[in-house]
Amino acid sequence: MKRKQATLESIWIKKPKTNEPTENESVAAFSSPVPLAPSVTSTNDISVYARQHGKLTDEERDTLLSTDWKPSEKHMYKKTQFGKTSRTFQSSWLQKYPGLVYSVEEDGAYCFMSVRTNNAPVNKQVDAALQARRKKNAVVLESITKTVLLCARQNIALRGHSDSSKYYDDESVNCGNFQSLIEFRVESGDSVLKEHFATCGKNATYRSPTIQNELLDIMGQTVERKVVNEIKTGGKFYCVSADEVRDIGNVEQLAVCVRFIDESDKIREEFLRFVDVSPDTSGEALSQAILDVLTDVGLDPSMMRSQCYDGAGNMTGKTKGVGPRIQHQYPRALPFWCTAHKLNRCVVHASNSTLVRNMMGTVDRIAVFFNYSPRRQTCLAECRAAMEVTESKRQKIKSLCRTRWVERHDALEVFIDFLPAMVEAMSQLMENETKSTTSAEISGFLMAITGFQFIAVLVIVTRCLSYIKPFTVALQGRSVDVVKAMSQVSVVQQALQEVRDNIDTYHNTWFQEVSTIADNLGVQPSQPRLCGRQTKRDNIEAATPELYYKRNLTIPFVDTFVNEMDTRFSDLQTKAAMGLKLIPEQMCASPVSASDLEWFIDDLPSPQSLPAELHLWQARWKGVTNPPTTLQGAVEQCDSQLYPNIYTVLSIECVFPVTSCECERSISALGLVKTKLRTSMGQDRLSALCLLSVHRDIDINICNVVREFARKHPRRMDLPDILSEL
């Protein structure tokens, strides 16, 4: 009776018919016992040794281990019928599994092991071999994890054009950075990977997109857990900020960030996650998405004490915006409007004059005219060099920022610096231009920038915006607190008010600069023609050009700016005043009482002792020179054991936000991760890559990542090739 073929899925250790195998048994069958074959059996068949009972002699063992138990290449394997299909033994199995041998007589597979120096039972030998394979796979996985982490940290795409092993022998196909870095590790001396390649083969080893995603997910979750743990071990209170953007793949992404104080009492802002909100960007959907993120990462929304968003209607709308909706569920989560966006709105309203709009439009179009043509840019650079202008870091003019008007100050400064060279470059370009449309465009630009009105508006607006430039830079910091921001706002307001009170002096200085630039360009001071019936132009009568621009430009611009800042920053003053009184420098000048901190009562650990703590806090700083002047300094100097209530108040005040700049920094990282060549990546992969890119300072324990992977995929760790597709 012939034995049916044993498939790899159904093989097990063959047991002899009689007697139990001894410890030195060296042959085990993968299939169940079969009747002995007739005497025509070849003496070179493995089944001859398999039927022997008891111990083998040394000569027989040497024969067993040294003989090649493989049929010839022309051998026709028998077919076995399974239902409607027939199956046969595959010769490729003998190449893939070195310990596998074939019996022609029984048409079955056997597995043999060397026991010359190992007398342990077969089951123990199998278990030891499995443990050794797991350890080897863990070391291989460590090398793979380091490579994936490197690509994520440096924003390097892992995949190539054809990320499949069948293309790896084709040198014309880009197999991706991941595979190239793996090969580079081998060439640089990674002996573990080199041995793995030699054992499993190149093609089988590289098929690992599934493992890449799993490792990225584990590392991304590790970063999230560390950020959340730092929030919980710090002040426990936090602020949420969010910003919406459309990425390169036309997907609406919501960046969610948190602001908190860590265990060392440092104010920090950290990115949490990107959320796909393409189906619905209403205030209701965005607010629910934010709360879902907080719950998913393990943060209690009831510990949220503030929110920060930009001025979009779905974010800060009074009734249906994200801020009011979340505050309705969690009343202590105060909504804040990003200070940088408020300042931006002040500039927008101050620049709502026809003179200012026309000037900025001309600057923007000229920047595009030069920057998008190498020939024109070269001509401009040559003209600038020929004028022997002092060497500057700027080599080209700068386009106006479309979202942050306060950032336009730099662009206007550069434009003033390049103005003489631009006039000369346009003159040369117009002489050599053959197309009539382009020549007309250059002529229009040249006429615009050599007009006295353009020069006057350019210089005066630039000098006015210079007052808010330092404030804009200060707002970009992560550790700036609401009290410090309010003090900086007050400084800007005071300075602009002094300009308004002494407008004659300041305008005279600025107009002298205008006259100097105009004189260098051969432009005569002038003012627009006025008539009694015109309504679309600033037409306040003036006897001289200087007086005209003071009345129609400088005074309206400064007045609008001051009024807008007074109106838009009044809410920030109210919220900043809650913590201002606990800062030692302010407290020494104006004592604080328990009634001043009524908003914080529900969060205090022992409200009854608050009056006594305030007395102790005042006594602590009485007569001290150089007391802390900011919330950050105050909370660092506050002993949480001695002043638990005051420490709680300061902790909450520290998480009150100033700007949503951390969200915008995260969005910048999104632009580096999701590029035109990587638009098809999934949301989980995108968030993990962004987390690893943004949080470069958070250490990733490679061994812990490998252990987590092994816990989730124990069967894969037992495979001969851990990176092969299952």
Residues 21-74 pLDDT 10s: 443 433 333 333 333 333 334 556 777 766 664 566 766 766 666 666 677 777
- Give all strands of the β-sheet with 252-261 in edge-to-edge order: 267-276, 252-261, 238-246, 304-309, 334-337
Closest CA to 412 of 425, 387, 394, 424: 394
CA distance 720 to 137: 8
What pTM was computed for the model?
Answer: 0.74
Residues contacting 314, CB < 8 A, separation 6+? 244, 281, 282, 283, 286, 320, 321, 322
What's the pLDDT score for residue 169?
Answer: 56
Task: Name the 3-class secondary structure at 236.
Answer: coil
CA distance 150 to 158: 10
Residues contacting 606, CB < 8 A, separation 6+? 644, 645
Q: How far is CA 431 from CA 151, 257, 303, 382, 442, in A?
A: 51, 55, 68, 16, 10
What's the pLDDT score for residue 18?
Answer: 43
Token representation of residue 139 = 């070391």
- Cα Rg of the chain, angstroms: 38
Which of the 8 DSSP states describes residue 550?
Answer: I
What's the pLDDT score for residue 5?
Answer: 47
Q: Collect the ranges in the chain with pLDDT lower than 70.
A: 1-44, 49-56, 58-59, 61-69, 98, 112-126, 160-174, 200-209, 388-394, 402-406, 530-539, 572-573, 575-576, 579, 723-726
Residues contacting 101, CB < 8 A, separation 6+? 46, 69, 70, 94, 109, 110, 111, 112
Task: Name the 3-class secondary structure at 505.
Answer: helix
State how beta strands 238-246 and 252-261 pair. Answer: antiparallel
Token representation of residue 8 = 């790899």
In the predicted model, what is the mean pLDDT of the chain? 80
What's the pLDDT score for residue 276?
Answer: 92
State how beta strands 252-261 and 267-276 pair. Answer: antiparallel
CA distance 118 to 708: 33
CA distance 579 to 569: 16
